[in-house]
């Protein structure tokens, strides 16, 4: 049987950086060629980075991306390279895979199924393709398609298989969320089994604003057997040697509307075998941790920063963010600031110190008491006769925000903000206060998951990176005497369960109540979620972890009087 050596280039491009991305692609093409690959495949929109969003509405960007794609084509020698770019055809734009060979762009495949849900807006930019080409190379026939295309049972994969392809190369920009890896594998298993074809699934890796692409490229055999799993969260070139049936023309082959066959000229050379990569997977907590680390590292670096600042309260959220930042950037690039007030417990101060010691990061302390007193004095006339309350709590948080931003502005360090998803959901955070910052690392992590990941980190490193005291004390914002989160919120176990149903599952109150929660608690929570949309709209972006994050994924109106409870 003929063999085909495929290189799966699981790369980490940067949105908009056409020059760096094309150089990266060219380097990997050369490496693949050196390794004797017949074909090297890159992710969806590898040239532009994914998602390029409204850059695609700039005609000069599209034209620069075409030049970059052409430059890459010129660099291909005796290898067939496949890489995603934005292809303008007359007044339309396609999400295409370039097929290049011998210094030439031989063909393009135009994505057919354009996702326009969740975080995806592809119908804003692209037209749907309607061609289903297959390619002949050294006696082997294969098809190419892009991301979403493989999710449809009667889509391009089906047509291309019916047209004689024994291998489908599917290129992706598929972002991570919990359970996504398994979901992808299930689709690929079904698709390969139904069509009796091999599928090579090449995914992007890297962080882009809210999204983390987790890589995890795959090869699946025609019986639905997983032959290769690439690492997640790691840029790397993987080699897989296929033994494929020799393609023979037969009258039984379906020549579907829009299908076209192209022969790629290439000389077959012999290379020594390369060991097949891992088929191991990592567990869910490690997936989350690595997503947070990569998402943080890439946001910091792709935005041109090298160091970050974190306000360390001695609480679990800021401790986790610090641990993630240290893993992402190294301890020398993380600075903690403790900002105690009259309401900070002595435990909080020592806990923050212990954490900083454990993580080996620099920590400074700035007391906010004096500033707070001057604020209170300045507002004496206005606040005269009112009760001490939320306004005074928020002043403290905003003093901290101001100090942190002053340090950020002065030294050019990026301020990381530390709120978790449960808080973001119910608005248990001070806008312009603890919400101030450029990147909100654990914004999509419900509080119970925050605990889990902290324990995971401590287990992973075999030491108490996150001090036990931090893990066990009751959560508190410490903005008034003896304050506890549980004064105004239900236990996080209950809160998180309700939030998951309301936000991620979009269930209504009747359905949520079926699970036996107390009605008044559910009503309180739903009200808080709806009321606090305005805060979330002004919050920093953070890493998508769940199936629905606050951001591009959930587009709720602020002026919204739907209150069916």
Strands (E), 215-333: 218-220, 226-229, 236-243, 261-263, 308-311
Residue 565 C-alpha from the chain's centroid: 34
User: Binding residue for a second copy (CB under 8 A) from 244, 407, 449, 526?
Assistant: 407
Residues 34-63 binding a second copy (CB under 8 A) are: 51-55, 57-61
> With CB under 8 A, what is the number of residues at the site for a second copy?
87
Residue 177 C-alpha from the chain's centroid: 7
Q: What is the dihedral of CA 458, 319, 177, 422, to 10 degrees?
A: 120
Residue 82 beta carbon to a second copy: minimum distance, rounded to whole angstroms: 23
Binding mask 3-32 for a second copy (x = CB under 8 A): -----------xxxxx-x------------
Of 72-80, 154-162, 387-395, 489-497, which part binds a second copy (CB under 8 A)?
A: 387-395
Comparing CB distances to a second copy, the nearer of 179 and 508 is 508
193 by Cβ neighbours in 10 Å (0-12 / 13-18 / 19+) ranks as middle
The closest alpha carbon to 204, from 41, 439, 74, belongs to 41
Of 81-89, 131-139, 388-396, 449-457, which part binds a second copy (CB under 8 A)?
A: 388-396
Does 561 engage in binding with a second copy (CB under 8 A)?
A: yes
- Contact assessment for residue 317 and residue 280, using Cβ atoms and an 8 Å cutoff: no
Q: What is the dihedral of CA 193, 196, 197, 199, to 10 degrees?
A: 0
Residue 497 beta carbon to a second copy: minimum distance, rounded to whole angstroms: 18
Residue 478 beta carbon to a second copy: minimum distance, rounded to whole angstroms: 18
User: Binding residue for a second copy (CB under 8 A) from 282, 448, 507, 521?
Assistant: 507
The closest alpha carbon to 135, from 125, 127, 145, belongs to 145
- Contact assessment for residue 371 and residue 399, using Cβ atoms and an 8 Å cutoff: yes
Task: Using the structure block, give the residue that is written with the tokens 């008491």.
Answer: 369
Comparing CB distances to a second copy, the nearer of 71 and 78 is 71
Residue 437 beta carbon to a second copy: minimum distance, rounded to whole angstroms: 9
Residue 520 beta carbon to a second copy: minimum distance, rounded to whole angstroms: 19
Residue 299 beta carbon to a second copy: minimum distance, rounded to whole angstroms: 6
Binding mask 67-106 for a second copy (x = CB under 8 A): ----------------------------------------
Residues 269-298 binding a second copy (CB under 8 A) are: 298
Instruction: Give the contacts of 539 (CB within 8 A, at least 6 positions apart).
Output: 417, 419, 424, 431, 435, 440, 443, 550
Binding mask 429-458 for a second copy (x = CB under 8 A): --xx---x-x--------------------
> How far is Cα 555 from Cα 538, in angstroms, rounded to an integer?
13
Comparing CB distances to a second copy, the nearer of 288 and 407 is 407
Task: Using the structure block, give the residue that is written with the tokens 């906010």.
Answer: 368
Of 225-233, 268-276, 394-402, 466-474, which part binds a second copy (CB under 8 A)?
A: 394-402
Comparing CB distances to a second copy, the nearer of 180 and 548 is 548
Comparing CB distances to a second copy, the nearer of 105 and 309 is 309
Residue 150 beta carbon to a second copy: minimum distance, rounded to whole angstroms: 21
Instruction: Give the contacts of 256 (CB within 8 A, at least 6 positions apart).
Output: 132, 159, 162, 163
Comparing CB distances to a second copy, the nearer of 254 and 515 is 515
User: Binding residue for a second copy (CB under 8 A) from 227, 274, 403, 528?
Assistant: 403
> How far is Cα 529 from Cα 532, in angstroms, rounded to an integer?
5
- Contact assessment for residue 543 and residue 424, using Cβ atoms and an 8 Å cutoff: no
Task: Using the structure block, give the residue that is written with the tokens 């026939």.
Answer: 141
Which of the following is catalytic: 33, 87, 111, 327? Answer: 111
Residue 483 beta carbon to a second copy: minimum distance, rounded to whole angstroms: 16
Residues 345-384 binding a second copy (CB under 8 A) are: 364, 366-368, 370-371, 374-375, 377-379, 381-383
Peptide bond into 325 cis (omega under 30): no
Comparing CB distances to a second copy, the nearer of 52 and 490 is 52
Residue 144 C-alpha from the chain's centroid: 24
Binding mask 106-145 for a second copy (x = CB under 8 A): ----------xx---x-xx---------------------
Which of the following is catalytic: 87, 122, 147, 443? Answer: 147
Instruction: Give the contacts of 161 (CB within 8 A, at least 6 positions apart).
Output: 143, 168, 195, 196, 197
> How far is Cα 31 from Cα 9, in angstroms, rounded to an integer?
10
Instruction: Find the angle CA(385)-CA(390)-CA(392) to the nearest 5 degrees.
Output: 65
Residues 293-332 binding a second copy (CB under 8 A) are: 298-299, 302-303
Residue 287 beta carbon to a second copy: minimum distance, rounded to whole angstroms: 22
Which of the following is catalytic: 33, 44, 287, 393? Answer: 44
Residues 415-434 binding a second copy (CB under 8 A) are: 431-432
**Taking phi first (over 0 means left), then psi (-120 to 50 degrees means alpha), and beta for anything else, what does residue 16 get?**
left
- 147 is a catalytic site residue: yes
Residues 169-228 binding a second copy (CB under 8 A) are: 207-209
Kindly report the number of other CB atoms within 10 A of residue 246's CB atom: 11
> How far is Cα 204 from Cα 174, in angstroms, rounded to an integer?
7
Binding mask 524-543 for a second copy (x = CB under 8 A): ----------x--xxxxx--
Residue 382 beta carbon to a second copy: minimum distance, rounded to whole angstroms: 6
Comparing CB distances to a second copy, the nearer of 471 and 507 is 507
Comparing CB distances to a second copy, the nearer of 251 and 538 is 538
Residue 102 beta carbon to a second copy: minimum distance, rounded to whole angstroms: 30
- Contact assessment for residue 408 and residue 510, using Cβ atoms and an 8 Å cutoff: no
Kindly report the number of other CB atoms within 10 A of residue 501's CB atom: 22
- Name the residues annotated as catalytic: 44, 111, 147
């Amino acid at each position: 049987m003929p063999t085909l050596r495929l290189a799966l280039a699981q790369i980490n491009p940067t949105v908009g950086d056409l020059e760096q991305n094309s150089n990266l692609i060219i380097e990997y093409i050369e490496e693949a060629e050196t390794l004797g690959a017949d074909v090297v495949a890159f992710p969806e929109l590898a040239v532009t980075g994914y998602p390029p969003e409204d850059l695609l509405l700039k005609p000069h960007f599209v034209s620069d991306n075409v030049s970059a794609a052409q430059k890459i084509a010129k660099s291909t020698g005796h290898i067939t390279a496949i890489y995603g770019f934005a292809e303008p055809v007359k007044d339309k734009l396609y999400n295409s895979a370039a097929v290049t060979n011998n210094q030439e762009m031989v063909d393009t495949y135009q994505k057919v199924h354009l996702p326009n849900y969740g975080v995806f807006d592809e119908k804003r930019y692209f037209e749907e393709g309607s061609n289903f080409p297959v390619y002949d190379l050294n006696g082997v026939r294969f098809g190419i398609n892009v991301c979403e295309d493989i999710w449809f049972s009667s889509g391009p994969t089906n047509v291309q298989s019916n047209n004689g392809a024994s291998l489908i190369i599917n290129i992706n920009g598929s972002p991570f969320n919990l359970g996504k890896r398994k979901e992808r594998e299930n689709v690929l298993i079904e698709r390969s089994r139904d069509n009796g074809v091999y599928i090579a699934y090449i995914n992007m890796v890297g962080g882009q604003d809210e999204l983390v692409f987790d890589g995890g490229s795959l090869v699946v055999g025609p019986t639905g057997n997983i032959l290769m799993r690439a690492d997640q969260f790691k840029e790397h070139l993987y080699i897989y040697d296929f033994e494929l049936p020799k393609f023979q023309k037969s009258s039984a082959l379906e020549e579907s509307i829009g299908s076209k066959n192209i022969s790629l000229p290439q000389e077959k050379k012999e290379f020594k075998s390369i060991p097949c990569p891992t088929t191991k997977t990592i567990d869910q907590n490690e997936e989350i941790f690595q997503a947070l680390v990569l998402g943080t590292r890439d946001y910091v670096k792709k935005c041109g920063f090298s160091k970050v600042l974190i306000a360390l309260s001695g609480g679990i959220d800021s401790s986790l963010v610090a641990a993630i930042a240290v893993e992402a950037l190294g301890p020398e690039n993380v600075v903690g600031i403790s900002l105690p007030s009259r309401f900070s417990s002595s435990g909080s101060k020592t806990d923050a110190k212990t954490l900083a010691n454990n993580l080996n990061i620099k920590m400074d302390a700035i007391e906010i008491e004096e500033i707070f007193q001057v604020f209170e004095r300045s507002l004496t006339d206005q606040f005269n006769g009112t009760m001490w309350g939320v306004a005074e709590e928020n002043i403290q948080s905003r003093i901290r925000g101001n100090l942190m931003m002053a340090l950020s502005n002065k030294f050019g360090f990026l301020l990381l903000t530390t709120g978790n998803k449960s808080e973001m959901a119910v608005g248990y955070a001070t806008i312009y206060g603890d919400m101030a910052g450029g990147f909100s690392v654990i914004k999509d992590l419900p509080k119970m998951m925050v605990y889990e990941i902290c324990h995971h980190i401590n287990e992973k490193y075999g030491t108490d990176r996150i001090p036990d005291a931090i893990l066990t004390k009751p959560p508190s914002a410490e903005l008034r005497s003896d304050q506890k989160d549980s004064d105004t919120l239900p236990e996080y176990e209950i809160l998180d369960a309700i939030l998951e149903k309301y936000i991620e599952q979009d269930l209504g109150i009747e359905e949520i109540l079926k699970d036996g929660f107390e009605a008044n608690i559910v009503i309180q929570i739903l009200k808080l979620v709806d009321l606090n949309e305005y805060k979330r709209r002004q919050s920093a972006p953070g890493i998508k972890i769940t199936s629905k994050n606050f951001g591009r994924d959930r587009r709720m109106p602020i002026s919204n009087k739907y209150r069916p409870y």
